[in-house]
Amino acid sequence: MDLSAILPSDVQWWSLLIAIGIAVAGWVLSRYARKGVRALLTRTPGISETVAHVASRVCGYAVILLGFGIGLAVLGANVQPLLAIVLIVAVVLALVLRGVADNFAAGVLIQTRQPVKVGDEIRVDGPDGLITGTVTELNSRSVVLLTVDGRTVHVPNAMVLGDPIINDSTHGARRSEVQVRVSRGGATVDDLLDQIATATAEVPGVHAREHVRALAVAVSPERLTARVQFWHHPLHGVPVTADVVRALAAALEDAGRVVTVTSEPAAAPLTPPDQV
């Protein structure tokens, strides 16, 4: 670009000194602005170190550009071509980095409003269905999950805000259930349900503040089918459920009953089609 088309020919030496001073002052102020913004955001709850670092750098660059712009204005320069170039570059960057900007803005909202936090177990839509994992990192681009089978999943921040997610940890507890099929042997339904609920409540890991519920699903003279609902830590569902299955089977077998306990109810047996 030809600078003579921007700067006038009658620039005074004092104007040049003032412009240089303003530019230097802008550069110095940009350093203090970066430090101040970073210190402020670091102390703000929900703002990560990464977000604070990027925001402080953007603020510093903005102060530098403002200083140079004021310096050119003092020199009497025609800054309209420069403004046009800045606008063109800004538009191009906005188009090219639109996805990055969306994820960055979403990351700021996630870390500020905290719909998910590090340590939460969440479920999100994946290519093959729901993906369940524990949040291990929140950065400016994605939410990083560690699945139970050891896979690492990077979920874009914009997807976390734009699509439905299931947070299993917000309540602080999660309910699971098992199904029990036990022979009655002359016992009443209420007695069997009480025995099942008591045995379940004694399992380590089952919460006491939320009561265990044993609900009759099917009753016949020979058998009772019950659904047992219990609460536990959000991340301990599999081991606690396994302990409940073992404890119920042992307690009912010790009482001399034939019992089947399963955490995943079996599908209904196939029946032959009606004969025409």
Q: Give me the domains of the chain, ranges plus CATH numbers.
A: 3-96 (1.10.287), 116-167 (2.30.30.60), 174-262 (3.30.70.360)
Beta strands, E only, the chain: 121-126, 129-138, 142-147, 152-156, 166-167, 174-183, 213-219, 223-232, 259-262
pLDDT at 191: 92
Q: Which burial class, exposed, middle or buried, applies to 227 when counting CB atoms under 10 A from its CB (0-12, 13-18, 19+)?
A: middle
Q: What is the mean pLDDT of residues 66-89?
A: 67
Rounded to whole angstroms, the Cα distance separating 158 from 65 reads 30
pLDDT at 32: 82
Q: To which residue do tokens 């089952």 refer?
A: 206
Name the token pair of 130.
């729901």
Rounded to whole angstroms, the Cα distance separating 110 from 121 reads 15
Name the token pair of 190.
């209420």
DSSP symbol at 234: T
Q: To which residue do tokens 């349900």 refer?
A: 193
pLDDT at 200: 94
How do residues 103-146 score in pLDDT, each as one tens digit?
Answer: 777 877 887 778 888 888 888 887 777 888 889 988 878 889 99
What are the C-alpha distances in Å from 224 to residues 105, 179, 197, 249?
55, 10, 14, 14
For 12-26, 38-52, 151-165, which range has the lowest pLDDT when averaged over its residues? 38-52
Task: Please list the residues that pair with 228 across neighbouring strands.
Answer: 178, 214
Residue 79: band (very low, low, confident or very high) from pLDDT cuts 50, 70, 90: low
Strands 121-126 and 129-138: antiparallel
CB–CB of 41/86 below 8 Å?
no
What are the C-alpha distances in Å from 222 to residues 66, 179, 180, 248, 254?
85, 17, 14, 19, 18
| Residue 63 predicted with pLDDT over 80 | no
- Helix (H), strand (E) counts: the chain: 7, 9
- Quick one: which of 28, 88, 92, 89 has its CA closest to 63? 28
Instruction: Please enumerate in sequence order all residues whose Cβ is within 8 A of that of 228, keeping only pairs 6 or more positions apart, or say none.
Output: 177, 178, 179, 180, 196, 197, 200, 212, 213, 214, 215, 244, 248
Q: To which residue do tokens 């805000």 refer?
A: 161
pTM of the model: 0.57
pLDDT at 228: 94
Q: Residue 9, SS3? A: coil
